[in-house]
Amino acid sequence: MNLNTLTTETANPLSKNMSAMTVFDTIKLFNQEDYKAVKCIESQYLQIEKVINLTINALKKDGRIIYIGAGTSGRLGVLEAVECPPTFGVAYDKVVGLVAGGDSAFKIPKEDMEDSKEAIIKELKQLDLNSNDMVIGIAASGLTKYVISGIKYAQKVGSSNAAIVCNFNSEIKKICANTIEIVPGPELLTGSTRLKAATATKMVLNMISTISMTQIGKVYQNYMVDVQLSNQKLVQRGINIVSAVTGCNEEVAKKVLKEAHNSVKTAIVMILYNLDYITAKKSLEKSAGKIEQISL
């Protein structure tokens, strides 16, 4: 394994004297470098679009999004997975995050597990991975064996597959045509890909989940209309969304939300189209959950 060829392992000349820099100057340097995490995504728009379209197709076939990764990359996938159900109202098994070493590795690193080719295959078999699913490998280095093995297994069973890496011409790119290459440059702390690489990766993950969920009707205008009203803050958010979208006052929003069994989307349809709960539900079912496509 020749790490010297990887951008993520290269020393950054701008931080050569970081250990002797003042706190203020180091903060300024960090912020300047983080702009590169944003900029590097621009060259990958078409590839990101391709991956999102594959993800949308998987969701429309009732498939799952399955993120796989090791270390920081794996934890980012788990974070993305656990945030989708409360945000978009999907089932907890609809978006899955697998990190090398298992769930406990989210808190206690098991760095040696990134070299396991067998563990990910076992985990994907336990999930009963199938051709309807979308597997997205996350690996800053682009050479993580756990991820490469998982992508190869996904290809074997016919699952759609993609990858997010932070080096050009990686080992993963060689076996996965749908690889997004976001390369923000050498880290200020040499080799610490929890910095710029992780920031850029998280931004791409945000795009994949949010845009995919939007395209299958989990978003209306720019509101999360399938948000789960599971606490006081989210209940108020639901009321605010219904009011903002329909133009009704807060009291009407509260009343209709109660009639809609706390479904923000259904409440919106009830008000916009002057429908009762049952009719609004049926209308949404016919339009595959998309408010824009409801026709009465």
248 strand-pairing partners: none
Task: Name the token pair of 266.
Answer: 């259904």
Q: How far is CA 1 from CA 7, 118, 119, 144, 171, in A?
A: 14, 19, 21, 11, 11
In angstroms, the first-to-last Cα distance of the chain is 62
Per DSSP, helices labelled H in 5-88 are 23-39, 45-60, 71-88
Adjacent-strand bridge partners of 180: 164
User: Which CATH number among 3.40.50.2000, 3.40.50.10490, 3.40.50.300, 3.40.30.10 corresponds to the domain 9-215?
Assistant: 3.40.50.10490
Claim: this prediction has a pTM higher than 0.85: yes
The answer to whether the CB of 57 falls within 8 A of the CB of 49 is no
125-154 per-position pLDDT tens digit: 999 999 999 999 999 999 999 999 999 999
Instruction: Give the CB-side neighbour count of residue 283, counting CA atoms within 13 A.
Output: 21
Per domain, the residue ranges of the chain are 9-215, 232-293
Pairing assessment for the beta strands 65-69 and 179-181 based on DSSP bridges: unpaired
Domain 232-293 belongs to what architecture?
Orthogonal Bundle (1.10)
pLDDT value of position 37: 97
Which one-letter DSSP state was computed for residue 18? G
pLDDT score of 1:
60
Rounded to whole angstroms, the Cα distance separating 71 from 126 reads 21
Of residues 79, 147, 71, the one with CA closest to residue 111: 71
Q: What does the pLDDT read at residue 108?
A: 79
Strand order across the beta sheet in which 160-165 lies: 95-99, 65-69, 134-139, 160-165, 179-181
Structure tokens at 295: 């026709």
Catalytic residues: 83, 114
Residue pLDDT tens, the chain, 296 long: 667 779 999 999 999 999 999 999 999 999 999 999 999 999 999 999 999 999 999 999 999 999 999 999 999 999 999 999 999 999 999 999 999 988 877 777 777 677 778 999 999 999 999 999 999 999 999 999 999 999 999 999 999 999 999 999 999 999 999 999 999 999 999 999 999 999 999 999 999 999 999 999 999 999 999 999 989 999 999 999 999 999 999 999 999 999 999 999 999 999 999 999 999 999 999 999 999 999 87
